[in-house]
Amino acid sequence: MLKRNSGNIPAFAWPCFLVLAIIAILLLSAPEPVREVEAPLPPQLYSSAYQLIGTGNRLGTYFPVGNILADWFNSHFDAEGGVFKAVETNGSVDNVRLLREGRIMLGMVESRIARETLAADASSSLRLIWPLWEDVVHLVRTPQGFEPSREFPGRLRGFLGQKNSSTFRTSKEILASLGFGDDFSSLDLPPDAVLSAVSTGQVGFATIQAGMPNRTVSDALIFHDCTLVSLNQQQLQKILQKVSTARIYSIPAGFYGDSQPSIQTIGLPNVLVTTDKTPAATVELITELLVKASTHLKMKHQATAAIPSEPLKAKAILEEIGVPIHQGTIDWLNRHKTTPTEEGASDAD
């Protein structure tokens, strides 16, 4: 009588099972196809509860004054919890991009970046609201014990600003105009490490492009024996040919401490910008509040004192930039009996 092998696998089937097992293992261990995933945005840029103001990093003036302006705007609205919120960005270049993408309502932008945005795209939706203050280029030198050479830029590496920021670009253009190419050695630093780096000789100089006064510059000069580079007329003329919208700027003697001499450098006008999608009535109200800000907010930050309150002066600065002025600003100027010229001022709102 034949015995049944119902619970056993026939010997001839083992090789087949072995091959199938190997295939299964290979399939399970194969890597998944690589998928491109967009880096997440900062959480506040998803906010629907606020109208966001793009500022800059904590090294400059955009971020602290942006917060002051957001509070100032909110104090004139009845909405509980506020309407506006300042958010930290990398500055002008970032703010233009975020405006284009509809992620912020207002942005602080260097005049040169605004002008070049229009030059690159004649149909750009970018619109000027109001001038802010001069972005002054502070070239902060390390103490002489770390860098005996007083010739700028010296032998050590420099901090040129955050990558993709307008400060970084300004630094590169200044160096290029003075005969130093792309091979100049620079060091990338987070904003909160710059003061330590320049005061201890990790870098020979740091470029800080900001409104005056700037706390980092003040601390570097008063507490750490750093100095400011003063550019001569020949250097300034070369730089002005390279850096669009720049103008010569003088830092008065003693502004950053008793030992600071008069400094010659450059400044670039800053502006508050939005897009043509922002309602004219909203921009007109913001303009009114900005004009009042120079008087009411200068005790909170001196940079706000430089915001023009005189319509003719503000109009001249905006028209010089050559980017369309928002219809809400035009309406405000019309109410104050000053009308922008058509060039650089027309708007499609």
Over residues 203-214, the pLDDT tens digits come to 999 999 999 999
Per DSSP, which regions of 19-147 are E strands?
A: 51-54, 84-87, 106-110, 126-141
pLDDT band (50, 70, 90) for residue 33 = very low
CA angle 301–162–46, rounded 5-degree value: 75
Q: Which residue ranges does the chain devote to CATH 3.40.190.10?
A: 46-132+270-335, 135-268
Nearest to 110 by CA among 134, 127, 79, 86: 134
Q: Are 106 and 273 in contact (CB under 8 A)?
A: yes
Contact yes or no for 203/197 (Cβ under 8 A): yes
- Confidence (pLDDT) at 80: 65
In 3D, which of 133, 94, 92 has the Cα closest to residue 115? Answer: 92
Q: Reduced to 3 states, what is the DSSP secondary structure of residue 167?
A: helix
The DSSP 8-state label assigned to residue 187 in this structure reads -
**Among residues 337, 349, 204, 209, which one has the least CA distance to residue 270?**
209
Residue 51 has pLDDT above 80, yes or no: yes
Both structure tokens of 102: 């509809």
Q: What is the pLDDT of residue 337?
A: 75
Angle, nearest 10°, between helix axes 62-74 and 280-296? 110
- CATH domain 46-132+270-335 topology: D-Maltodextrin-Binding Protein; domain 2 (3.40.190)
Q: CB within 8 A of 122, min separation 6: which ones? A: none
**Closest to 63 (Cα-Cα) out of 105, 108, 110:** 108
pLDDT single digits (tens) 138-160: 999 999 999 877 788 888 899 99
Quick one: tokens of 211? 């409104």
* Amino acid in position 179: G
pLDDT score of 132: 96
The single residue listed with the structure tokens 């400094």 is 263
User: pTM, whole model, 2 decimals?
Assistant: 0.77
CA-wise closest residue to 268 among 94, 122, 140, 116: 116
Provide the CATH topology of domain 135-268: D-Maltodextrin-Binding Protein; domain 2 (3.40.190)
pLDDT band at residue 128 under the 50/70/90 scheme = very high
Percent of the chain at pLDDT exceeding 90: 64
Q: Residue 12: which pLDDT band, with cuts at 50, 70 and 90?
A: low
Query: Does the pLDDT value for residue 2 go beyond 50?
Result: no
Written as one letter, the residue type at 328 is G
Q: How far is CA 227 from the centre of its chain?
A: 24
Q: What is the DSSP letter of 186?
A: B
Asked if pLDDT for residue 39 goes beyond 50, the answer is: no
Q: Give residue 32's pLDDT.
A: 46
CA 125 centroid distance within chain = 19
